[in-house]
Chains A and B, each alone.
Chain A
């Protein structure tokens, strides 16, 4: 019981934090990110999470031929400078990276329908555990008829 109780408390606290953080992420995405899809139809998916230094998130998504896509990885300013993402095909071939790029927007189309793998990374900046930077990260995808 001595060990179970703190564990339960940790779980409850963590659950509360997760839910609250996710609600904040939704609000952050609405306020700060969705406008970047202007001119595209938002695909309606919500992919948002709080990421800390040293963490990563991945997304696998099908993209159809005949559509133009905009992929936008929107991150809170606390981690946006260090965060980067990579888009790869099913054979790990690197198609796009935001590392060194001016923006987190990737406009593209596919000649044949395929699944692409997106990996978002927040590099460890060496800060102590209690000070690790963190922030909301949302992946937004918009589509429109191919030009």
Chain B
């Protein structure tokens, strides 16, 4: 059971009484030790308890964190890369709407992080229009929209508002047992985030820090892969998963080096060292940048 299927997990537990075309893109990725392994959890908490486990979350990150890392790594704002918010009413099918909500949400986050609050409001409104058609009202309630309007000069307030929007979105979809929609919204948002980051990386001067951010998306790809497998029998996921597959598989093909985990205390926090590092070459990155763009263009096409 994974993060965005919490309700399904609870339901299952309750009822049961107790949760590209190229070779590199299509090759089945090998399971690395760092990939999600539920047997580990089963061993750790014991078989009996695992069977009664209320829920297993595979937390799919919201775009705010990735965009914040891109900014921190020396990224910059490129309005020309963003989707067209005027097209928000053109998306008609359930699949198109979920993709569009994810993409507009990321563009809203990206604009907020780079302090382009006029753009952020435009994408907030675009996301609201799509969400409304999907019956998602909680994240874009009047109070939150009014706060965004009043606080657009304050980046910190806008970041808070955007994080609240995602929190409300996730919780509403979970409450309404529409986790598969939430999964596709977040997957589309993730693709948009990788697309924006990789285009900035491609255009700017060499930036190892941002290269690392893009390569580290391998971890998110493994979470998505696990979620897609979990929902393999869901018709909506079965219909939409293929759109993400080439990017997920290309990232999963990156090898991961492992070293022992260390911990130390530093200024009131624990610093976790070692563990896992994603290895990559410039060819890998070029490939990921190309596939991210193809995937993104594919999901926003009408």
Instruction: Find out whether the CB atom of A23 lies under 8 angstroms from the CB atom of B175.
Output: yes
Instruction: Report A16-52 residues with CB < 8 Å from chain B CB.
Output: 17-19, 22-23, 26, 41-52
Residue-wise, chain A 46-61 has the 8 Å CB interface mask toward B (1 for contact) of 1111111011111111
Instruction: Enumerate chain B residues within 8 angstroms of A89, measured Cβ to Cβ.
Output: 261, 272, 275
Are A113 and B278 in contact (CB-based, < 8 A)? yes
- Can you list 28 A-B pairs with a CB-CB distance of less than 8 A? A10-B15, A41-B159, A45-B60, A46-B167, A46-B171, A47-B3, A49-B55, A55-B52, A56-B52, A58-B57, A59-B3, A64-B213, A64-B216, A65-B216, A66-B69, A90-B275, A93-B261, A96-B263, A107-B268, A108-B271, A108-B272, A110-B275, A111-B275, A112-B273, A112-B277, A115-B223, A121-B49, A145-B68
Q: Among the listed stretches B31-39, B87-95, B118-126, which one makes contact with chain A, having 4 or more residues with CB under 8 Å of it?
A: B31-39
| Cα separation A54 to B8 with both chains bound (whole Å) | 20
Stretch at the interface among B40-48, B191-199, B244-252: B40-48
Residues of B within 8 A of A111 (CB): 271-275
* Neighbouring B residues of A91 by C-beta, 8 Å: 33, 258, 261
Does B174 have its Cβ within 8 Å of any Cβ on chain A?
yes
Asked whether, in the complex, the Cβ of A46 is within 8 Å of the Cβ of B174, the reply is yes
User: Nearest CB to that of A34 among chain B residues?
Assistant: B167
Q: Are A18 and B171 in contact (CB under 8 A)?
A: no
Closest Cβ neighbor of A138 among chain B residues: B171
Contacts A14-B11, A109-B271 given; indicate if A19 touches B33 (C-beta within 8 A).
no
Contact (Cβ within 8 A) A18 B14: yes
How many of chain B's residues have a CB under 8 angstroms from any CB in A? 76
Q: Is B219 interfacial (CB-CB < 8 Å)?
A: yes
Is A119 a contact of B45 with CB atoms below 8 Å? Answer: yes
Shortest Cβ distance from residue A62 to the other chain B in the assembled complex, whole angstroms: 4
> B interface vs A, CB < 8 Å?
3, 6-7, 9-11, 14-15, 18, 33-34, 36-37, 40-41, 43-45, 49-50, 52-62, 64-65, 68-69, 72-73, 159-160, 162-167, 169-171, 174-175, 177, 209, 212-213, 216, 219-220, 222-223, 226, 258, 260-261, 263, 267-278
List chain B residues, Cβ under 8 A from A133. Answer: none
Q: Taking each of A51, A68, A115, which has the highest tally of chain B beta carbons within 10 Å of its own beta carbon?
A: A115
Q: Is the CB of A59 within 8 A of B59?
A: yes
Say whether, besides A64-B216, A115-B34, A26 and B57 are in contact (CB < 8 Å): no
- Residues of chain A within 8 A (CB-CB) of B43 are 92
Q: When the two chains form the complex, which single residue of A49, A62, A121 contacts B223, counting CB atoms closer than 8 Å?
A: A62
A residues within 8 A CB of B267? 147
* Whole-angstrom CA separation of A41 from B63 in the bound complex: 12
Give the chain A neighbours of B57 by CB distance below 8 A: 47, 57-61, 139
| Contact partners of A116 in chain B: CB under 8 A | 272
| Distance between A11 CB and nearest chain B CB, rounded to angstroms | 6
> Could you tell me the distance in whole angstroms from the C-beta of B134 to the nearest C-beta in chain A?
17
Closest CB in chain B relative to A32 CB, distance in Å? 15
* Contact A41 B68, CB 8 Å, known A49-B55, A55-B53, A58-B53: yes
Whole-angstrom distance between the alpha carbons of A142 and B263 in the complex?
Answer: 20
Distance between Cα atoms of A52 and B54 in the complex (Å): 9
Compute how far the CA of A117 lies from the CA of B230 in the bound complex, rounded to whole angstroms: 18
Q: Given A18-B10, A41-B64, A46-B167, does the pair A107, B269 have CB atoms closer than 8 Å?
A: yes
CA distance A54 to B18 in the complex (A): 10
